[in-house]
Amino acid sequence: GGQVKPLYDQLHCYTRSKLVAEYGTDKGQVEGGLIPAHLAGNMWQQDWSNLWDMVEPYKGAGSLDITASLQKQHQANLSREQARLPAGASTEERFKAQRAAELKTAQDMTRQAEQFYTGLGMPALPDSYWANTQFIKPMDRNVVCHASAWDMNMGGEDGKSPDVRTKMCITPTEENFTTIYHELGHIYYDLAYNVQPPLFQNGANDGFHEAIGDTIVLAMTPKYLNSIGLVEATAESHQATINAQMRTAMSGVSFLPFGLLIDRWRWGVFDGSISPDNYNKAWWDLKATYQGVAPASVRGEEFFDAGAKYHVPGNTPYLRYFLARIYQYQFYKGLCDTAGFTGPLHECSFYGNEAAGKKFWALLGKGASQPWQATLKEVTGSEQLDAGPLMEYFAPLQQWLAEQNAGQTCGWSAPATATAAATQP
């Protein structure tokens, strides 16, 4: 954790200053310099992308408002469906047209994600994927909307056709759009390693599984987004670079301490160091210490806020997501090297690069057939988890943040009880 903490601290400082500018010294922060939980733009404060309006470094240096573009595309789908309606269509008919448009938009977004993978030379998703996937929230039953990817039959090894599916309730937002790329990472991993014997049909480790799609997401540069019509073409400039880096950091860097603390809390519960009469306090203590966020009003033991995070009641291990946020930059750098890219890391996109695609597919195809260190080495040359590539990637932003934060008192003080409870990783 120590390797990336300086970068997080700078992002925290900058974001807090924007919140204070927007909401005032009293409301824009919580005593001790913590970010108010309800202002982070996300229920769990794990992804700050929704604060984009407030933190965008240079307005006009390339708009990266992907949500707005997706919504426009959805409007076009809706108009098309509505144009098919007869004059005086019933409410039910109009509602059906709306649902059809929602499905179409969700499938269009998924096609776009698929195209990134096929553009690397990977296979198209099987027809069964399109037939069986849940793209939008169904009307006739309750479902878990938290996105997931499923391999239903481990098909592949013996020529059996695969039955892979994703389950999401897609809406046209940037967050959902990148989540689709993430989920297809799981699916392509499944498809690739299904040539292995069943015991090896798994990720090299669970962090690898989470990192595949995230690696692809890093290659969704403004240039790529422009090529699929989601953002306008921008001239390359330092300002545009900083904008692009900020966009990536608001989702990827903001996440880092969160990714670490979930299992710290869970393991504390398992080993008894966090007792039931302390569940909520321990939760917010960790949130204060690691993330520097705090609720605006007291959250006592009558609340169970950890339970609002899907993976806690769902019993899904969480450290995998922290690992993935580090691996993704290692993979990305390795694939950029393979693509013959020699410029600064943040400028690379391996979109459409056949050599990078081949390398990636080979990594995926190894599955769990060898220790993860061996697979990591084949792609990155290293056998270790290493945040070096992440820090290299964000070098321009880190310098920019340091300039912005000059003269500010950065950092925060967690309540004394909190610092005692959390040991350094």
> What region, left, alpha or beta, does residue 256 occupy, with left being phi > 0 and alpha being psi -120 to 50 degrees?
alpha
In angstroms, rounded to a whole number, what is the distance separating the alpha carbons of residues 151 and 164?
5
Strand partners, 294: 36
**Of 10-18, 54-62, 160-168, 204-212: span binding Zn ion (CB under 5 A):** 204-212
The one of ligand X8Z, Zn ion, none whose footprint includes residue 148, by CB under 5 to 8 A per kind, is ligand X8Z
> Looking up tokens 């990783």, which residue turns up?
425
Least distance between ligand X8Z and beta carbon 205 (Å): 14
78 forms part of the interface with ligand X8Z (CB under 6 A): no
How many residues bind to ligand X8Z according to rule CB under 6 A?
A: 6
**Of 59-67, 206-214, 250-258, 362-370: span binding Zn ion (CB under 5 A):** 206-214
Q: Toward Zn ion, which CB reaches closer, 101 or 168?
A: 168
Q: Toward ligand X8Z, which CB reaches closer, 179 or 338?
A: 179
Which tokens go with 424? 């350094």
Q: Toward Zn ion, which CB reaches closer, 212 or 288?
A: 212
117 forms part of the interface with ligand X8Z (CB under 6 A): no
Q: Toward ligand X8Z, which CB reaches closer, 134 or 148?
A: 148
**Of 81-89, 207-215, 294-302, 408-416: span binding Zn ion (CB under 5 A):** 207-215
In angstroms, rounded to a whole number, what is the distance separating the alpha carbons of residues 4 and 141?
43
Least distance between Zn ion and beta carbon 182 (Å): 6
Selection from 1, 8, 50 nearest residue 398 by Cα: 8
179 forms part of the interface with ligand X8Z (CB under 6 A): yes
Q: Toward Zn ion, which CB reaches closer, 47 or 210?
A: 210
Q: Which residue is nearest to ligand X8Z (CB)?
A: 147
Choose, by CB under 6 A, the member of 78, 147, 319, 391 that binds ligand X8Z.
Answer: 147
The one of Zn ion, ligand X8Z, none whose footprint includes residue 283, by CB under 5 to 8 A per kind, is none
Q: Toward ligand X8Z, which CB reaches closer, 77 or 179?
A: 179
Choose, by CB under 6 A, the member of 321, 332, 350, 412 that binds ligand X8Z.
Answer: 321
42 forms part of the interface with ligand X8Z (CB under 6 A): no
**Of 56-64, 120-128, 159-167, 208-216: span binding Zn ion (CB under 5 A):** 208-216
Q: Toward ligand X8Z, which CB reaches closer, 183 or 337?
A: 183
In angstroms, rounded to a whole number, what is the distance separating the alpha carbons of residues 44 and 38?
9
148 forms part of the interface with ligand X8Z (CB under 6 A): yes
Q: Toward ligand X8Z, which CB reaches closer, 182 or 359?
A: 182
Q: What is the 3-state secondary structure (H, E, C) of the chain?
A: CCCCHHHHHHHHHHHHHHHHHHHHHHHCCECCCEEEHHHCCCCCCCCCHHHHHHHCCCCCCCCCCHHHHHHHHHHHHHHHHHHCCCCCCCHHHHHHHHHHHHHHHHHHHHHHHHHHHHHCCCCCCCHHHHHHCECCCCCCCCCCCCCEEEECCCCCCCCCCCCEEEECCCCCCHHHHHHHHHHHHHHHHHHHHCCCCHHHCCCCCHHHHHHHHHHHHHCCCHHHHHHCCCCCCCCCCHHHHHHHHHHHHHHHCCCHHHHHHHHHHHHHHHHCCCCHHHHHHHHHHHHHHHHCEECCCCCCCCCCHHHHCCCCCCCCCCHHHHHHHHHHHHHHHHHHHHCCCCCCHHHCCCCCCHHHHHHHHHHHHHCCCCCHHHHHHHHHCCCCCCCHHHHHHCHHHHHHHHHHHCCCCCCCCCCHHHHHHCCCC
Which tokens go with 271? 């080993």
Least distance between ligand X8Z and beta carbon 174 (Å): 14
The one of ligand X8Z, Zn ion, none whose footprint includes residue 321, by CB under 5 to 8 A per kind, is ligand X8Z
Interface pattern 180-209 for ligand X8Z (x via CB under 6 A): --x---------------------------
Interface pattern 281-320 for ligand X8Z (x via CB under 6 A): ----------------------------------------
Which tokens go with 101? 């448009």
The residue ranges that bind ligand X8Z (CB under 6 A) are: 46, 147-148, 179, 182, 321
The residue ranges that bind Zn ion (CB under 5 A) are: 210
